[in-house]
Structure 1
Amino acid sequence: MGSFEGHLLSGFGLLVFSIYYSSLMSLALLRKQKMLKHLLLPRKLLGRGLVLQVSYEAVVKVVMAAFAILCEYYYPLGVNRLMMIDWKDPQRLFVFKDTWQHVTMFGFFILSGIADIVSQAKQASWSVKLERAGEALAFYVVALLMTAHIENKSVLEIRVHLLFVLPAFLLALILTVEIWVPDNAPLWILKCWMGLVLSTWMLQICEMYIPFTGQPWRADNPTDLAFVTIFFCWHLFLGLTLLITIYGLCSLWHCHYSSRTKTLGARYQLYLTESSGEELEKLNAEAVAQDGGV
């Protein structure tokens, strides 16, 4: 979406997914799991049973991408960008290039969500590979279309979008490797880090539309161009800081939850021991009574 609202929606959505995956990754490392366990929708939703057991992120991925596509075509209200070719023009010119590029990207994320749903429904050994392949394809498309998106743009926009392509392409590469090595913890960490960098950089682009200082960015100024790269390096550090923070919070929660579970388990075992002792005493009394009667 080539607007402040579009970049804000996309950046916020990516940030939510990145934080979610970072939390799953942190808990998996703390629990020494070999696979990430996704949160599944309850089997009964709105009073009705689900045909398929799917995860929250698969549904959200499809819904958010579909909503973004509708916004691309019809936002702001009264606008219609659904047309691809201007048939009234004798030269049959293509129109709304940016819109169709964004729609294509969102469409591949819908395809990724559908792959997740099919994967989680089958519960087969190849299912995780299908999920990673769908996500990798979506980010390859993002990187490919963003390289074409910068045509006829200013030097500033070219620099900003190329720095956006870098983490998107690295994410696609990591997800590609995960197709064959899905249980590799360093890949989990790199994937979450690049996801956080990509989402925070998208939000940084929003600031370029409406600068906090009130002074617009100057596309022809070498100093502004230099600071774009500097800020991206800061986002690398910011993403790492967010990842460490999420891991720390998950570690605190895991320690608290583990200690509470151990306490409840000890109480439960003590209760069983006491109950079994009383039952043994009753059985002994009954045996003595029977012997006395004989």
Structure 2
Amino acid sequence: MANFGGHAIPGSFFFLYGVWLTVKHILHHYWRMHQPKHRQGMAPFLKKMHYFEGGLQIFAASVGILVEQFVPDGPHAHLISGREWVKLMNWQHSTMYLFFGIAGVTLVASTASKLVPVGVDRLILSMALFVEGFLFYYHVSMRPHLDAHIHTLLLVAVFGGAASTMLEVFKRHNIILELLGAGFFILQGTWFYQIGFVLYPLSGPQWELEQHDNIMFVTMCFCWHLAVAVLLVTSTSFAVWFMLRRLSSNGRDIEIGMRNTSSASNSQKFLLEESEEE
């Protein structure tokens, strides 16, 4: 990760994953609101989304591990050479990717089998985020002040996401918690890009890593990123909700598994009344 591209790749993944979670949670929330209480199970379309999401996590984690291990200057699966450690930074990143891969496997398993306890997928995802934050906490020791500070701010998004995801284990289908977790993923994604721009600028002079004004600006900039994350979650949620409402108002059945239950009940009532008149 010692370059701009190394921060842009995970940043893109976390950003897109946060947007994906926002869309998925709004779809599921809309479906739950239009189902009778006795049918509050897993939506049919949600299983397909879970399989896709879990498979994508496994694929992305596998690619991340292979890239970290087998780049030209990587450790090539060697942890120790003689009496020295080999590329421990690459090994730390590989460990982080490993836990996100485990989270993907757990999501697929919990979707496919009822033997897996409910909420385990959220528990393992929370654990993966905790491991990411734990590794980054000891990742920045003995670094220049700005470098350490900008990585420490990332921990706010990481541990915040871990906490909100852990709460979902005990409080299922809470749309506020779900969107909060999605927002933390978006914040992670944009902040990874910010770290890349600061430490490895594509153009212009290098940042002064010991200047206090730069630390103050980066702290303020993190608040702007948080505002952007909230705005993106809000606008995406309204866009998806508006689209679903328009489809329902046009009387169309939504092909992802949600049906206009009110129109169906009205048609059944009309048929019963017609039969009584005959």
Q: Identify the TM-score tier after normalising by the shorter chain.
A: 0.7 to 0.9
Matches of 1:234 and 1:263 in 2, distance apart?
40
SS at match of 2:107: helix
Aligned length: 255
Change beyond 3 A, Cα 1:171–1:30? same
State whether residues 24 and 36 of structure 1, in contact with CA within 8 Å, keep that contact through their aligned partners in structure 2. Answer: no
Percent of pairs identical after alignment?
A: 23
Matches of 1:148 and 1:39 in 2, distance apart?
37
State whether residues 58 and 117 of structure 1, in contact with CA within 8 Å, keep that contact through their aligned partners in structure 2. Answer: yes
1:106 aligns with 2:102: no
- Match among 162, 167, 172 for residue 177 of structure 1: 167
Per the alignment, residue 217 of structure 2 pairs with 227
Per the alignment, residue 28 of structure 1 pairs with 28
- Match among 59, 70, 74 for residue 70 of structure 2: 74
Matches of 1:97 and 1:201 in 2, distance apart?
23
State whether residues 74 and 80 of structure 1, in contact with CA within 8 Å, keep that contact through their aligned partners in structure 2. Answer: yes
Matches of 1:155 and 1:210 in 2, distance apart?
15
Change beyond 3 A, Cα 1:147–1:80? closer
Map 1:133-212 → 2, pairs under 5 A: 133-211=123-201
Per the alignment, residue 291 of structure 1 pairs with none
Bigger RCO (CA 8 Å, 6+ sep): 2
Q: CA RMSD in A?
A: 2.8
Change beyond 3 A, Cα 1:2–1:212? closer
SS at match of 2:250: helix
Aligned AA for 1:3? N
Aligned AA for 1:93? E
Deviations 1:122-167 (A, max 9, x none): 135723x110111011011011100110022111111011101111
State whether residues 146 and 165 of structure 1, in contact with CA within 8 Å, keep that contact through their aligned partners in structure 2. Answer: yes
State whether residues 105 and 138 of structure 1, in contact with CA within 8 Å, keep that contact through their aligned partners in structure 2. Answer: yes
- Match among 246, 251, 270 for residue 256 of structure 1: 246
State whether residues 16 and 186 of structure 2, in contact with CA within 8 Å, keep that contact through their aligned partners in structure 1. Answer: no
SS at match of 2:79: coil
Change beyond 3 A, Cα 1:80–1:193? closer
Change beyond 3 A, Cα 1:35–1:154? farther
Matches of 2:113 and 2:63 in 1, distance apart?
27
Aligned AA for 1:63? F
Aligned AA for 1:111? I
Matches of 1:124 and 1:16 in 2, distance apart?
30
Cα offset, 1:252, TM superposition:
2.1
Change beyond 3 A, Cα 1:196–1:80? closer
Larger Rg over CA atoms: 1
**TM (normalized to structure 2)?**
0.82
SS at match of 2:143: coil
State whether residues 151 and 195 of structure 2, in contact with CA within 8 Å, keep that contact through their aligned partners in structure 1. Answer: no
SS at match of 1:55: helix
Cα offset, 1:95, TM superposition:
2.3
Matches of 2:60 and 2:250 in 1, distance apart?
37
Per the alignment, residue 49 of structure 1 pairs with none
Cα offset, 1:30, TM superposition:
3.5
Aligned AA for 2:124? G
- Match among 86, 99, 103 for residue 95 of structure 1: 86
Change beyond 3 A, Cα 1:200–1:80? closer
Change beyond 3 A, Cα 1:85–1:262? closer
Aligned AA for 1:84? L
Change beyond 3 A, Cα 1:31–1:121? closer
Matches of 2:85 and 2:5 in 1, distance apart?
25
Unaligned residue ranges in structure 1 (runs of 5+): 43-53, 278-294
SS at match of 1:247: helix
SS at match of 2:86: coil
State whether residues 39 and 56 of structure 1, in contact with CA within 8 Å, keep that contact through their aligned partners in structure 2. Answer: no
